[in-house]
Amino acid sequence: MNSMPGKIAVIGAGAIGSFYGAKLAKAGYDVEFLTRSGARKLKNNAVNIKSIWGNFKIKLNAFSDTKFMSKADLIIISTKVLPSIDYKKILTPIVKKDSIILCIQNGMNVEEKLSRIFPKNTILGGLAFTCINRISPVKILHLDYGLIKIAPLLKENFKTASLLTEIFNKTGIQTEAVKNLRKMRWQKLLWNIPFNSLSVVCGGITTDKIVDSKTLTALASDLMKETLEIAKAEGIIIPGKIIQTMITTTQKMNPYKTSMLLDYENKREMEIETIVGEPLRIAKKLKVKTPVLDTIYKMLLFRGNAG
């Protein structure tokens, strides 16, 4: 891809994939969507987007299997990160040797794993700082924020990340290119680890319950400290004052159900491994002690019927 991607594939039409994919489609790009559950509904109906960036309706081009889809210049992966998903099988029909793959997903080592399957492709990581609900496959509610940060897995691909950032910004998606992918992911994990985990293991509680409790705030802080130690062990220094910033920010937020809590309540598979298990495996490899994270991980596995 040198300038504009001719064909875009969006893998996973959840809240994130549907919203950003629809924005690209509205801007005139040729976007195809993979969605297991919503394909039939999307084929017959336009999607209704209510967004703080402006409402619109659009017909999306949805498929239930990538074997019916075109080879893509840009592939946006926006599925949950679950051990059960076979990316090799899903992506092979649509990957070309110069396809760019952008993972807008949670957790750690997402891009690294993909690059082992598609070592010749440019892999980028994305994080969405936003509040979007998918009410149904054809009803998307974009309530707040919306920034996407994009960083390359390999430093030499920063140019591609910047180019994509420009393209996204032109379509009205606020986007920022970032140099250090792992630093970006650790910073996001600093919030995701404590708040996703505690919202589930403390019995299904919204974020306000965590920051309103003195002891759970202390526990969230313990988890963040251990996370900073893991990042530090791989050479990424994030100043400790970020912990208080995260807590203060969360205190100012409206009561919020984390994605892990929503999955737990709806008896769906939770992103335990990408958000907690993977950071723990990095800690183990680097000999960082993480007793609090270990404890919470065990309780999460029990909650997810995986322990």
Residues carrying an active site annotation? 188
Contact status: 201 vs a second copy (CB under 8 A): yes
The region of 11-19, 40-48, 188-196, 294-302 touching a second copy under the rule CB under 8 A is: 294-302
Handedness of CA 15, 247, 207, 288 (dihedral sign): positive
Residue whose CB is less far from a second copy, 10 or 296: 296
Q: Does 219 bind a second copy (CB under 8 A)?
A: yes
Q: Is 251 in the site for a second copy (CB under 8 A)?
A: no
Which one, 176 or 294, has the nearer CB to a second copy? 294
Tokens 């001719």 locate to 6
User: Does residue number 215 form part of the binding site for a second copy (CB under 8 A)?
Assistant: yes
By CB under 8 A, the count of residues binding a second copy is 22
Task: Give me the helix-helix angle, 214-233 and 278-285, nearest 10°.
Answer: 50
For residue 273 the two structure tokens come to 């491994």
- Candidate residues 3, 28, 156, 203; the one interacting with a second copy per rule CB under 8 A: 203
**Minimal distance in Å, beta carbon 244 to a second copy?**
18
In the bound complex, what is the minimum distance in angstroms from residue 39's beta carbon to a second copy? 36
With binding defined as CB under 8 A, does residue 302 bind a second copy? yes
DSSP string, 186-208: HHHHHHHHHHHHHHHHTTS--HH
Shortest spacing between CB 304 and a second copy, in angstroms:
10
Element (H, E) at 47: strand 47-51
**Nearest approach, Cβ of residue 197 and a second copy (Å):** 11
Q: Using N-to-C axis directions, what is the helix angle for 181-201 and 242-252, rounded to 10°?
A: 50
Q: Does 298 bind a second copy (CB under 8 A)?
A: yes
Name which position in 183, 213, 234, 269 contacts a second copy (CB under 8 A). Answer: 213
Whole-number minimum distance, CB 295 to a second copy, in Å? 5
Check binding of 295 to a second copy (CB under 8 A).
yes
Residues 6+ apart with CB under 8 A from 76: 8, 9, 10, 11, 17, 20, 21, 102, 104, 126
Distances (CA, A) of 274 to 143, 193, 306: 26, 10, 14
Q: Report the alpha-carbon distance of residue 240 to residue 112 in Å, rounded.
A: 27
Q: Does 91 bind a second copy (CB under 8 A)?
A: no
Closest CA to 177 of 151, 156, 157, 145: 151
Site of interaction with a second copy (CB under 8 A): 201-203, 213-216, 218-219, 222, 291-292, 294-299, 301-303, 307
